[in-house]
Amino acid sequence: MAEDVNAQAFREEAQDLLAELETALLELEEDPGDSEIVDRVFRAMHTIKGSGAMFGFDDIAAFTHDVETVFDKVRNHELSVSRELLDLTLRSRDHIAHLLACSVTGEDPDLAAAEQITGALRGLLSEEAPADEPAPAAPVLSTGTATAGLTTYRIRFKPAKDIFMSGTNPLHLLDDLAELGSVRCFPHIKPVPELEELDPESCYIWWDILLLSERSEEAIRDIFMFVEDDCELVIQTIDRGEGHNSEVAYKRLGEILLERGDITPESLQAVLQEQKPIGKVLQDAGLVSEEQVESALAEQKAVREMRQARTGGDKGTVEQAGASSIRVAADKLDKLVDLVGELVIVQAQIAQYVHTSPDALLVNLSEELERLSNELRDSTLSIRMLPIGTTFSKFRRLIRDLSAELGKEVELVTHGAETELDKTVIERLGDPLIHCLRNSLDHGIERPDIRTAAGKSAGGTITLAAEHSGGEVLISITDDGAGLNRERIFASAVSKGIISADAELSDREVCNLIFAPGFSTAAQVTSVSGRGVGMDVVKRSIDALRGSIELDSVEGRGTTITIRLPLTLAIIDGLQIQVGGEFFVIPLNHVEECVEHVNTGSNGNGDRQKIINLRGDIVPYITLREQFDVPGSKPPIEQIVVVSSAGARYGIVVDHVIGEHQTVIKSLGKVYKDVEGISGATIKGDGSMALILDIPRLVQSAIAGQ
């Protein structure tokens, strides 16, 4: 069971790292010389490799090691960043995702693809290295003269006693350290207890290590990346191999020798004045043996303040950041929201009962419960809110690969990535956005030669933006391509039997034909488009999210697709209304105001297109009683709820406006999924049901029926 939990934790971490890896690679393509981005790529792969090996994903660790080796060369400026390298690394990222999927499904991984990728990466290494370059000699650790370009480090590695419980073997870390250069390890075994007191699951030994390497301190820390919180780690530079100017290193060593009584203060002063290499000092002065020097280095006290001064307190920041977030399973969040929803319903029932009670204490308690319930609701929903940038980031790869496939030059520009939306909405929004982006790139953006001939830049731009608008989120996809050809759309719709040849449609209605099932203007079927599947799926997906989609296009200049979505699908604030014996709820984010309407006495269904003059503005209205065939007579004075939808204002005529109502949305089931103008239901305070109005679809349905 624990193994399954660890494996699942690794898969979740690996998915996050793969997303970070893809983002970093695409940024690196724009700025190949940015060493910080190179480090991000390397760290992501290094973490995947280390965690994979730790939790038994040996195939992932082995494959990632080859890719990591290549980017290690990039970090050391031994290999340049090229388009081919980025393509191979992105393919490597996809193969790691494939290996993760196989670990869940049990399918056999594509070993041929792995071999092809690693072979191509090795080919890059052989192409980059000069043919006559001799193999580098292995560095030899010596206490004599330091080699130019090599740095001598002293590392104190003191694992926590329970480090084995995390699956870490400290000896493997020492093996990784040995790959960086020449190593001498000095184990401290005094803490090991007698056999009868020894716990085989505890680590008692710790090490002082001397390392001679060309690598940076950062490379050393990468090895201990996974255990930094489970050990004491101090890395000190003893000698940078810069000739004879190593006074600081001499003083450290000299002070240790002096404290131990190996040399006298006078001898130490004489040695420092000579300013000779360490090895020369030890040999010529004859003060101590080589073994004494190594022992002194091993006993050097850890100076933790040096690390804190160098990092500027980063460790504390990291610890705080780690403590401020926690990964929670999605089903647990869904369960929490359901429970909060039920609590809101019970609170509303209590409030309705208490409203008729003369007990002042009971009223106060009810008001306090309502306040706490509202705060709990808001806090719970905020937990589910995620920045939409988590979805935006993956589209950069889509645009990159698809534009290359189509022979086009396209840049994706994003705005409002920090805009937050319910996680459920974000998860279900991915596919519709992919369809829209593919359409914009395939049908919207022209080929470079066509754009140039039209006086445009050779490269096109697709802008993906998000912003809050009241209780909704607006997402727009705008391209600067050719725009929609209305004549071609009309002709294609006629040929496919979607409309008749003599149909009279407005420009907007013609544009909306692209949302019809089976519609396509592609001359031939390709891997991108032409099968008549796409925009109709987009519309159904957006409708299922209680959203709306609109399209605006200027021929020759481009097209904008605007998607409106609710912030959350769980709980909303609504305005409760009544028509006859039926109750409805209008989402409060659509409501602008309420006005009285004097009944003229007509109760027929004629003259359905009705308007009112609202302070000089003409506002059309819909009679809800007629729309849903609610029986009964109209009251002498009705109420009109003025709502906004798709940038326009409409009136909803009702019998009574009851007031604001905190609404927990319940699904009506498949039987009612096609009912126009209804998005769900809620439970009122008295236990009865009220239907939630889908204002955009209600208005569209009413307009279509006129």
Q: Do residues 551 and 560 lie in contact, with contact meaning Cβ atoms separated by under 8 Å? A: yes
pLDDT band at 521 (very low <50, low <70, confident <90, very high): low
Element (H, E) at 487: helix 486-495
d(CA 353, CA 474): 39
Q: Do residues 37 and 13 lie in contact, with contact meaning Cβ atoms separated by under 8 Å? A: no
Encode pLDDT of 574-600 as tens digits. 899 999 889 999 988 788 899 988 876
d(CA 541, CA 465): 19
Calculate the average pLDDT of the chain: 77
Of the chain, the percentage scoring pLDDT greater than 70 comes to: 77
- Going from the C-alpha of 389 to that of each of 338, 466, 545, 568, 664, the distances in angstroms are 26, 9, 19, 17, 27
Q: Is the pTM higher than 0.75? A: no
Structure confidence at residue 420 (pLDDT): 86
d(CA 84, CA 566): 42
Radius of gyration of the chain (CA): 35
pLDDT(308) > 60:
no
Top CATH class of 388-566 equals: alpha beta
C-alpha closest to that of 12 among 64, 48, 62, 58: 48
pLDDT band at 218 (very low <50, low <70, confident <90, very high): confident
Parallel, antiparallel or unpaired: strands 617-623 and 648-654 = parallel
Domain topology for 571-704: SH3 type barrels. (2.30.30)
Q: Which of 9-13, 208-212, 362-366 has the highest mean pLDDT?
A: 362-366
Arithmetic mean of pLDDT, 364-373: 89
C-alpha closest to that of 222 among 459, 5, 488, 40: 40
C-alpha closest to that of 390 among 354, 361, 419: 419
Q: Can you tell me which residue has the tokens 């280095």?
A: 297
Instruction: Pinpoint the alpha helices (H) of 31-57.
Output: 35-54
DSSP string, 597-643: EE--S--SS----EEEEETTEEEEEEEHHHHTT--SPPPSEEEEEEE
d(CA 480, CA 57): 45
d(CA 199, CA 416): 55
Q: Do residues 15 and 60 lie in contact, with contact meaning Cβ atoms separated by under 8 Å? A: no
d(CA 336, CA 332): 6
C-alpha closest to that of 410 among 454, 453, 440: 440
Domain topology for 2-128: Four Helix Bundle (Hemerythrin (Met), subunit A) (1.20.120)
- Please state the separation of Cα 632 from the chain's center in Å: 53
Domain residues of the chain, as ranges? Answer: 2-128, 151-322, 330-386, 388-566, 571-704
d(CA 574, CA 348): 13
pLDDT band at 484 (very low <50, low <70, confident <90, very high): confident
The better pLDDT of the pair 238, 198 is held by 198
The better pLDDT of the pair 206, 497 is held by 206
d(CA 475, CA 666): 26
d(CA 479, CA 700): 27
Q: Do residues 541 and 432 lie in contact, with contact meaning Cβ atoms separated by under 8 Å? A: yes
Instruction: Give first-to-last CA distance, the chain, whole Å.
Output: 62
C-alpha closest to that of 660 among 635, 685, 626: 685
pLDDT band at 381 (very low <50, low <70, confident <90, very high): confident
Encode pLDDT of 86-131 as tens digits. 999 999 999 999 999 998 888 888 888 888 998 888 888 776 554 4
Q: Do residues 56 and 7 lie in contact, with contact meaning Cβ atoms separated by under 8 Å? A: yes
pLDDT(573) > 70:
yes
Encode pLDDT of 401-451 as tens digits. 899 888 999 999 999 988 888 888 888 888 889 989 988 898 889 999 999
d(CA 258, CA 604): 108
- 140: CB partners within 8 A, 6+ apart: 182, 212
C-alpha closest to that of 28 among 73, 80, 69, 100: 80
- 637: CB partners within 8 A, 6+ apart: 596, 597, 598, 599
Encode pLDDT of 140-162 as tens digits. 333 333 444 678 888 889 999 88
Tokens, residue 432: 């519709």
Q: Can you tell me which residue has the tokens 């390298």?
A: 85
d(CA 210, CA 455): 65
Task: Report the length, in residues, of the chain.
Answer: 706
Structure confidence at residue 286 (pLDDT): 62
- Please state the separation of Cα 534 from the chain's center in Å: 25
Arithmetic mean of pLDDT, 325-337: 79
pLDDT band at 302 (very low <50, low <70, confident <90, very high): very low
| 180-189, 366-375, 603-612, range with the lowest pLDDT | 603-612
Biggest CA–CA distance in the chain, Å, is 118
